[in-house]
Amino acid sequence: MAVTIKTQREIDLMRESCRLLAKVHDELAQAIEPGISTLYIDQLGEKIIRGYGCIPNFLHYNGYPASICVSVNDEVVHGIPSKDRILVEGDIVSLDCGLIYKGYHSDAARTHGVGTISPEAQKLIDETRNSFFEGIKYAKEGNHLHDISNAIDDYISQFGYGIVRDLVGHGIGTSLHEAPEIPNFRQKRRGLKLRAGMTLAIEPMINMGSGDVDWLDDDWTVVSSDGTLSAHYENTVLITDGEPEILTIL
């Protein structure tokens, strides 16, 4: 499918969808503490989303059974919430979630520390977030898509971390996943030309080790192959002819 350029009306709807999602993330961040289950996070998130009159877009997406992807430590993405998975001090937990507002999707992810975490884990979280901001320096009309990918890769390479290559960012709008795919690692081709009105979910996933991943037998949970910690940071971004608008930050 071709990349969609949103109209002004659609941009306004995307803005509102994303603003509400930013609030969901802020509320979930407040709830993270040792002793809670990953299912609790999912239930809380679904309640907040529905409280805004919105629909959780991950729920039943290709059969995914929850509203929030909750991925702990070596889990990269798509962890399935469970009442038996209890967060403990020192864990890191990635929350990925999205919602639909008046037909328009939003998508964002954050990694949080549970209680006090190691400096190494905090650095992984911080640099994963920083890599997103390095990438979006290039997210403006006239640049090329892979300028973003290359900037993320160039930034992350200095730390010896592994970029997850099996999963990518994506366009977003009336569907959760639209064209184009947005890799987080260096590309040989420059990719499509960015145009104002594109809305993109840019989402580096970074492992302390190699960046290789495996899928668990639950068909969803993606884990680092070497068991190292993994962090994820994602926002839905609007391309303009100037600075990009990060729609999922308040």
Residues that bind ligand MF3 (CB under 6 A): 58, 61-62, 64, 69, 78, 96, 107, 170, 201, 203, 234
> What is the helix (H) or strand (E) element at residue 205, kind and residue range?
strand 205-207
**CB 96, min distance to ligand MF3, A:** 4
Size of the site for Co ion (CB under 5 A): 3
The answer to the question of residue 107 lying near Co ion (CB under 5 A) is yes
For residue 61, the partner it binds in Co ion, ligand MF3, none, with Cβ less than 5 to 8 A by kind, is ligand MF3
Instruction: Please state, in angstroms and rounded to a whole number, the distance separating the CA atoms of residues 247 and 250.
Output: 8
For Co ion, which residue of 136, 201, 238, 239 counts as binding (CB under 5 A)?
A: 201
How far are the Cα atoms of 13, 146, 173, 234, 247 from residue 103, in angstroms, in the given order? Answer: 8, 29, 8, 21, 16
The answer to the question of residue 99 lying near Co ion (CB under 5 A) is no
Residue ranges of E strands in 102-182: 104-113, 162-163, 169-171, 178-182
What is the DSSP code (8-state) at residue 57? Answer: S
| Cβ-contact 64, 221 below 8 angstroms | no
Residue type, 130: N
| Nearest residue to ligand MF3, scored by beta-carbon proximity | 64
**CB 8, min distance to ligand MF3, A:** 26
For residue 13, the partner it binds in ligand MF3, Co ion, none, with Cβ less than 5 to 8 A by kind, is none
